[in-house]
Amino acid sequence: MPTRNTQAVHALSRFGELSWFKLPVEYNPIHGYHQVPYTGWRYACPDEGIAQLIENAVEGLSTHVEWTLDRTRRNWLLLPSRILREAQGLENPAFSNVVHSITVQDQEFCLKALSDLDLIILRLEQIPIPKS
């Protein structure tokens, strides 16, 4: 059975060559909790059309939580919008503290977001690849 990580890499690779990818571990066995999911990646040749395609696919899904595709930096980041709101942006040093706080204090949110991420990955695997 492929892991969520493998499925995400496969889905995103359909739209271009990945030069970097990260999906933090979704379950922390030491502390016994699910972690709030987010994923980051960078394409070797970023394409604005692909970014819009991914953004539209995510926005078109009926998810439990709101998601944002942030492309303000070199790496694209897909994450629950709540993280951005509570951290007041990606550049805030409190970003990792907010992720940790949500993880520890709101397992229901984490589980909903993990379920959403599975839907998002499935959708990205189904989108027709645009002809160049």
Cα–Cα distance, 16 to 8 (Å, whole number) = 13
Contact yes or no for 57/116 (Cβ under 8 A): no
Which structural domain, as residue segments, surrounds residue 107?
A: 4-125
- This prediction has a pTM of 0.91
On whether residue 131 sits in a domain, the answer given is no
Whether residue 46 lies inside any domain: the answer is yes
User: How high is the mean pLDDT of the chain?
Assistant: 92
pLDDT band at 129 (very low <50, low <70, confident <90, very high): confident
Which of 95, 72, 76 shows the shortest CA–CA distance to 84?
95
- Sign, Cα dihedral of 122, 75, 72, 82: positive
In a domain, 108, yes or no: yes
* pLDDT for residue 132: 62
pLDDT of residue 34 exceeding 90, the answer is: yes
In b/e form, how buried is each residue of 21-59, taking b as 16+ CB within 10 angstroms?
eebeebeeeeeeebbbbbbbbbbeeeeeebeebbbebbe
More confident residue, 67 or 31: 67
In-domain check, residue 117: yes
